[in-house]
Amino acid sequence: MTITIHDLRKLPGSYMPGSAACPGCGATLAFRLVSRALGPNTVYIVPACCFSVIQAPYPKSAISAPLYNIAFAAAAATASGVHRAYKAVNKDVNVVVWAGDGGTVDIGIQALSGAAERKEDLIYVCYDNEAYMNTGIQRSGATPLKAWTKTTPTGKREMPKDMPMILAAHRVPYVATASVGYPFDLVNKFEKAKNIRGFKYIHILSPCPPGWDFPVEKTAEVGKLAVDTYFWPLYEIEGGKLKITVKPRKRPLKEFIRLQGRFRTITDEEIDELEKIVMEKWQFLEHLEKSERVF
């Protein structure tokens, strides 16, 4: 089944307006959409991240689904425990980790890798705003090359980890990338994931106006341009087989980069270099799409 805008409007979500999120928050938009696709039989495990704050302070919460906040490194392990307890009492529930990029690619990578290797029946979601935003914009292992953060004041010197491919190398049944700029692609990946048994990993690019320094109204546009400039390719790997799910609209990388203050110091030559890296990755994906299995 493919979810359309009409279906989506009818589905109940688990986000209640009036949270502590910044205006134009991509992570919040992602959660809103994902919670509709997953439906009410879902519990969320959230490690330390912006989303711990977005919920708003005790005794109120902006999230109308069961949600457990846990220590930064622990989300995938805690979710494993939740899932196994339900299994022990024959309850079938979507157990979902909702984690930031730091909680996923850095401090939480060990527990995540362990849960993936054990084939726990979970959906692990990384909403990626490409830095530690909760603590005020420091670099993470997902921050792009050349991006400014408060701990990379002259731009990051390293490439980000390719987390979806790291997960794919665990040979889990489902891995996908998504962007809030392509909401139907995003919700349909969740619709698919919730019907697959075993470990599912979905990595959502979630633009962050204060952290990336772009005008608040551009969240959707930045999320779209990331895909259309090949910066953030959308694909899924189901049972080892890779499929590109959205064909980019072939925009120059410059359009994506120049929209954001975090790339302010980047020169045109550096953008060309970056574009080369991005296109190499794209060609690699196209190549992978032709093979029987990626891993």
Ligand X SMILES: Cc1ncc(C[n+]2csc(CCOP(=O)(O)OP(=O)(O)O)c2C)c(N)n1
Binding-site ranges for ligand X (CB under 6 A):
48-50, 72, 100-103, 129, 131-135, 140
Q: Does 101 bind Mg ion (CB under 5 A)?
A: yes
Does 19 interact with other proteins (rule: CB under 8 A)? Answer: yes
Q: How far apart are CA 243 and CA 239, in angstroms?
A: 11
Cβ(149)–Cβ(262) below 8 Å: yes
User: Is 12 a binder of other proteins (CB under 8 A)?
Assistant: no
158 or 217: CB nearest ligand SF4: 217
Contact region for Mg ion (CB under 5 A) — 8-16, 57-65, 97-105, 235-243? 97-105
- The full DSSP string for 204-221 is EE---HHHHT--GGGHHH
Question: Which residue, 160 or 183, has its beta carbon nearer to Mg ion?
Answer: 160
| Contact call for residue 197 and other proteins (CB under 8 A) | no
Q: How many CB atoms lie within 10 A of CB 220?
A: 17
Q: Could you give the CA distance from residue 292 to residue 68 in angstroms, rounded to a whole number?
A: 39
Q: Which is nearer to other proteins, 109 or 277 (CB)?
A: 109
Residue 62 beta carbon to ligand SF4: minimum distance, rounded to whole angstroms: 11
Question: CA 100 to CA 125: how far, in whole Å?
Answer: 8
Cβ distance to ligand SF4 smaller for residue 54 or 107: 54
| DSSP code, position 262 | G
Q: Report yes or no: 294 and 240 within 8 Å, Cβ to Cβ.
A: yes
Query: What distance lies between CA 283 and its chain's CA centroid?
Result: 22
**Token pair for residue 264?**
């302010």
Q: Which is nearer to ligand SF4, 101 or 236 (CB)?
A: 101
Q: Shortest approach of other proteins to residue 193 CB, angstroms? A: 17
50 and 100 in contact (C-beta within 8 Å)? Answer: yes
Sole window of 32-40, 156-164, 251-259, 276-284 interacting with other proteins (rule: CB under 8 A): 32-40
Segment contacting other proteins by CB under 8 A, of 140-148, 210-218, 242-250, 273-281: 210-218
User: Should residue 71 be labelled a site residue for other proteins when binding is judged by CB under 8 A?
Assistant: yes
Measured CA to CA, the distance from residue 105 to residue 98 in angstroms comes to: 13
